[in-house]
């Protein structure tokens, strides 16, 4: 099973380039050699949660050729997203928090939106709901996806917008080894960190990737890099592996055709000597 993770499109009525970047991300997914089974989108769909921004977001996301599942970020409006994308039966009432059980890998979306704040929150009711869902299927490999990562980054600005309830989430996950990955957004950066028994990975935004200067943690000095997405791939034999992909209009090259190696630099893809 393959799941592509996109994050933080921040569709903004003032900056049409953000919508154009999200359109390229959708096109990237649609032109993969093998379409993924699903896309998860980890929040901040729109910059100001305006109706026109959400209308454009819905139009662009609608071009996907596979199902998409999303959770809100701190820039979103939970009620507006619940109206646009009603969650499946069994979701936590009042939250965009739900389970997807259509695939070999179980997907659980967590709603970390905390109205009026840049940081996120998982309250006790949300954690109780999650614990009940995990107890239902202790043998089912599971991917959690959410906006706010439940870890510290070492960057003061980002850690000032962190997740309340992360300690309780950590304690909960220690009891549930079927959770193979926690996929998050929010940072606009690629981060991998240990958490409980599992791994947290953050997906950069669809318009750009930010690379921070960690020598200045009190500031937020970044380098702009190409936009990226994550590809989470699960099989019974390999478990869950996660790959970082640059979102760029580049051709697919048969580096190994099943019998022979090929070089990028040789004309016409002639075989390489190995």
Give residue-wise pLDDT tens across range 106-159. 999 999 999 999 999 999 999 999 999 999 999 999 999 999 999 999 999 999
Residue of 124, 92, 85 whose CA lies nearest to 108? 92
What is the Cα–Cα distance from 14 to 223, expressed in whole angstroms? 23
Are 244 and 228 in contact by the 8 Å Cβ rule? The answer is yes
Residue of 113, 107, 108 whose CA lies nearest to 95? 113
Provide mean pLDDT across the span 59-77: 98
Structural domains of the chain, with CATH: 2-269 (3.60.21.10)
Q: What average pLDDT does the structure give for the chain?
A: 94
Helix (H, G, I), strand (E, B) or coil at 49: coil
Give residue-wise pLDDT tens across range 25-48. 999 999 999 999 999 999 999 999
Considering Cα of 55, then 60, then 65, then 70, what sign does the dihedral take?
negative
pLDDT band of 267, cuts 50, 70, 90: low
Are 73 and 119 in contact by the 8 Å Cβ rule? The answer is no
Q: In sequence order, what are the residues at sequence separation of 6 or more whose Cβ sits closer than 8 angstroms to the Cβ of residue 248?
A: 28, 226
Provide mean pLDDT across the span 201-218: 92
DSSP per-residue string spanning 104-118:
SSEEEE-----TT-S
Give residue-wise pLDDT tens across range 152-170. 999 999 999 999 999 999 9
Give the pLDDT score at 252.
77
Provide mean pLDDT across the span 244-264: 82
- Structure tokens, 25: 């991300």
Provide mean pLDDT across the span 183-211: 96
- Structure tokens, 77: 């409006």
Give residue-wise pLDDT tens across range 71-106. 999 999 999 999 999 999 999 999 999 999 999 999
Kindly report the pTM of this predicted structure.
0.93
Give the pLDDT score at 169.
98
222 pLDDT more than 90: no
Give the pLDDT score at 24.
97
Give the pLDDT score at 260.
87
DSSP secondary structure letter of residue 46: B
- The strand pairing partners of 108, in sequence order, are 99, 144
């Amino acid at each position: 099973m393959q799941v592509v993770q996109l994050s933080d499109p921040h569709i903004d009525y003032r900056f049409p380039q953000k919508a154009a970047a999200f359109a390229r991300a959708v096109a990237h997914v649609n032109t993969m050699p093998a379409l993924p089974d699903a896309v998860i989108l980890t929040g901040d769909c729109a910059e100001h949660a305006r109706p026109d921004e959400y209308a454009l977001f819905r139009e662009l996301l609608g071009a996907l050729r596979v199902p998409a599942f999303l959770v809100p970020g701190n820039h979103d409006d939970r009620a507006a997203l619940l109206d646009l994308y009603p969650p499946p039966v069994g979701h936590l009432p009042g939250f965009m928090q739900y389970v997807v059980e259509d695939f070999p890998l179980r997907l659980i979306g967590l709603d970390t939106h905390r109205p009026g704040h840049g940081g996120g929150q998982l309250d006790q009711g949300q954690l109780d709901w999650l614990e009940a869902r995990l107890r239902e299927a202790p043998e089912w490999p599971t991917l959690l996806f959410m906006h706010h990562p439940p870890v510290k980054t070492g960057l003061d600005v980002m850690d000032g917008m962190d997740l309340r309830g992360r300690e309780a989430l950590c304690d909960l996950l220690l009891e549930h080894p079927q959770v193979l990955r926690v996929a998050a957004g929010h940072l606009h950066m690629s981060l991998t960190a240990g958490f409980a028994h599992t791994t947290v990975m953050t997906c950069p935004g669809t318009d750009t990737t930010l690379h921070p200067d960690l020598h200045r943690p009190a500031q937020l000095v970044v380098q702009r890099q190409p936009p990226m997405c994550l590809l989470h791939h699960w099989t019974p034999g390999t478990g869950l592996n996660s790959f970082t992909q640059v979102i760029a209009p580049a051709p697919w090259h048969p580096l190994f055709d099943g019998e022979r190696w090929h070089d990028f630099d040789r004309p016409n893809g002639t075989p390489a000597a190995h």
